[in-house]
Amino acid sequence: MRSAHQSPSETPIIPVIAIDGPAGAGKSTLARDLAERLGMYHVDSGAFYRTITAWALKAHPQNPEKAITPAFLEQLDIPVAPYGRRIGPVNRQGQPLGTEIRTPEVNRWVSEISRHPRVREYVNARLRALAVRWPLVIDGRDIGTAVFPDAPVKFFITCDPHVRAQRRLAEMRQAAGAAPLDEKAVLENILKRDRIDSQRATAPLKQAPDAFVIDTTHLDRTAQLEKAVEYIRQKAPFLLAGRSR
Ligand code: CDP
């Protein structure tokens, strides 16, 4: 259960850490590591958009945007549950959704589906409802700008696109045993999604003015975590209260 910290004006601060940035920059890894370190819960907001895309693809494999109708949105109800230090979409058996929302087809369409304002409203409402109950580290594209503009800590993660493509390829190899795509195709998908995500009308990917930027091009997992913890120690030490570091 969350414990809301009181600000000097006695307005409770929702303990949300917002992590935004382009595809494959290391947001999810940092969010997972921070949740562990701080005793919070990691929510990957992209998993919600990916789940909606996977469902829309089932209805319209050739053009899933056709599935995004008022009727579809009205009955949209993604089951969500905590598992370990994570909270996210689960299947009927309560298992977290994984490879089924990370297929090349979902990668191909997810940014188009995420452009729809009604889709965004749905995901945002789910995220805000979770934040009422749990202290969260949330990663996405618009968490610090649109979903939780008052988050006490915001990170914007950047990284060289080639490094991002290599990391994503390594992840895919690990998940699938063999990579179905080459680096060029992965890089193209990443750049295309970045373009659509940055240029869309509703809540585009952009850096919040009060976000702390971490460029992970030359940082490994431990170094990026330490940089983030150091910033939290300065900006919002109450999030570290009771923790040894
Ligand atoms: O893991 P990766 O960085 O590749 O992407 P993701 O976080 O799984 O997000 C997949 C897609 O969902 C993004 O390319 C965006 O189009 C969309 N998304 C969004 O619009 N807003 C968010 N807060 C999170 C994801």
Instruction: Note the pLDDT of residue 12.
Output: 57
Instruction: Note the pLDDT of residue 175.
Output: 73
pLDDT digits (tens, 9 = 90+) for 176-199: 655 566 889 899 999 999 999 999
> Which protein residue's CA is at the shortest distance from atom 9 of ligand 1?
46
> Which protein residue's CA is at the shortest distance from atom 21 of ligand 1?
141
pLDDT digits (tens, 9 = 90+) for 127-176: 999 999 999 999 999 999 999 999 999 999 999 999 999 998 888 887 76
38 pLDDT tier (thresholds 50, 70, 90): very high
Q: What is the mean pLDDT of the chain?
A: 91
Which pairing describes strands 41-44 and 153-158: parallel, antiparallel, or unpaired?
Answer: unpaired
Instruction: Note the pLDDT of residue 123.
Output: 98
* d(C-alpha 163, C-alpha 171), whole Å: 12
Instruction: Note the pLDDT of residue 244.
Output: 54
Residue 2, pLDDT > 80, answer no
pLDDT digits (tens, 9 = 90+) for 94-114: 999 988 999 989 999 999 999
Show the beta-strand stretches assigned E in 128-242: 136-140, 153-158, 212-215
Give residue 50 CA to ligand 1 midpoint distance, Å: 8
Given a contact cutoff of 8 angstroms between Cβ atoms, the answer to whether 156 and 211 are in contact is yes
* d(C-alpha 47, C-alpha 53), whole Å: 10
Backbone region of residue 84 per phi and psi (left: phi > 0; alpha: psi in -120 to 50; beta: other values): left
Pick the atom of ligand 1 nearest to 45's CA.
24
pTM score, two decimals? 0.92
Pick the atom of ligand 1 nearest to 194's CA.
14
pLDDT digits (tens, 9 = 90+) for 51-110: 999 999 999 999 999 999 999 999 999 999 999 999 999 998 999 998 899 998 999 999
Architecture of domain 5-235: 3-Layer(aba) Sandwich (3.40)
Residue 171: partners with Cβ closer than 8 Å, 6 or more residues away: none
Instruction: Note the pLDDT of residue 13.
Output: 61
Residue list, ligand 1 pocket, CB within 6 Å? 23-24, 28, 45-46, 49-50, 110-111, 114, 140-143, 193, 197
Give residue 236 CA to ligand 1 midpoint distance, Å: 26
Given a contact cutoff of 8 angstroms between Cβ atoms, the answer to whether 127 and 47 are in contact is no
